[in-house]
Amino acid sequence: MPEPTPSEIPSAIGSMPAVLTPGAVVPAPDFGFPSEVEDIVSPVKKRRFGPAAILAMAWIVFVVGGAILAPYLPIPTTTETVDIPVDAAGQPYFGPSLSHPFGLDKIGKDVFSLTLYGGRVSLLVGFVAVSVGMVIGGTMGIFAGYLRGKVDTVLSIFFDTFLAIPAIILALALVAAFDPADPDLVNPTRRIFVLAGALGVVSIPVLGRIARASTLAVADREFVTAAKAMGAKPLRIMWREILPNVLPSMLVIGLLGVGVAIVAEGGLALLGASVSSPATSWGSIIAANRNAINLDQPWIIFGPSLFIFLTVLTLNYLGDVIRRRFDIRDSVL
């Protein structure tokens, strides 16, 4: 039987004949499946942050860095005043300028430096409050979701009861209970941690419910069942198996909670329950100059309001980035 000619050799794909020449390199057929290189590159692309996420992280670095380094920067402190410039008519000028980007307040303090110093208290209160809520509320939620039964019933009633109380009223009551009302007796450091603790208590039921819902979603997974079959104790299972799977969703809500705590501190400041001089916060700056909104110095509240807005916005966005990165389902939240 004669050998087939090259033009009669069937192609690797379909039945069309392929012409083969000696020494030619035949490419591998493309069946539409991703190659090994694509499998490696795709996760790398997924791990990259977009420009918006980079800008959000840069803003957080700027705010946190400015708050930490404020005492070492060549700017006035919270108790120092500056020489008030005069305009062409010889009148004092309190508005924004190159040397004072956010202007001066009514007694000659630089609003930009006050805003940088205010970030020390506002950010500390926000992060400490959420940390308290995550540790206490997260622990309670994991216990409720894993143990179920009477433990779940009691803790769920506790969460629902606290959620029924207006958060700002509960926080105000806790601040009044644990700190003296006389401004002359208020210790700034103590007031900061009382604020953080009060807002942390307020966040316990929210973070507890998130942890409980996330725990219920993973408590019946195969790795938890395998740990039970191997004789692992409940505490070990909750620590080694449940917590790592619950933590991402709690981090998302935690970042949102930091922004909520910063705004809540501003609300408490308007009610006179925040820090007082020499300590300052974004909320206390707005509260001390709230009458300037309707007068001729609206720029006094512009700086701290802008910092609150951008910080809360970036925290919310970074929380959404983490949610997409870990593929956290909205139903769990």
Helix (H) or strand (E) holding 251: helix 243-270
The per-residue pLDDT for range 47-103, each reduced to its tens digit, is: 567 889 899 999 999 999 999 999 998 888 888 888 887 777 777 777 778 888 888
How open is the CA angle 50-55-59, to the nearest 5 degrees? Answer: 150
pTM confidence score: 0.78
pLDDT at 333: 43
Q: 180 or 153: whose pLDDT is higher? A: 153
Of the candidates 191, 312, 212, 216, which has an alpha carbon nearest to the alpha carbon of residue 260?
A: 312
Q: Of the segments 92-106, 168-182, 271-285, 301-315, which one has the largest average pLDDT value?
A: 301-315
Q: Are 237 and 146 in contact (CB under 8 A)?
A: yes
Q: Are 143 and 238 in contact (CB under 8 A)?
A: yes
What domains, with CATH codes, occur in the chain?
118-325 (1.10.3720.10)
Query: Residue 292 pLDDT more than 70?
Result: no
Lowest mean pLDDT among 8-17, 80-89, 249-258, 286-295: 8-17
pLDDT at 313: 95
Output DSSP code: residue 160: H
Q: Alpha-carbon distance 322 to 75, whole Å?
A: 36
Q: Alpha-carbon distance 92 to 94, whole Å?
A: 6
* CA count, 13 A, side-chain hemisphere, 285: 34
Q: Could you tell me the pLDDT band of residue 2, with boundaries at 50, 70 and 90?
A: low
Residue 18 burial (10 A CB sphere; 0-12, 13-18, 19+): middle
Q: 188 or 42: whose pLDDT is higher? A: 188
Output DSSP code: residue 300: G
pLDDT at 12: 47
Q: Please state, for a pLDDT cut of 70, what percent of the chain lies above it.
A: 79
Q: What are phi and psi of 309, to 5 degrees?
A: -60, -50
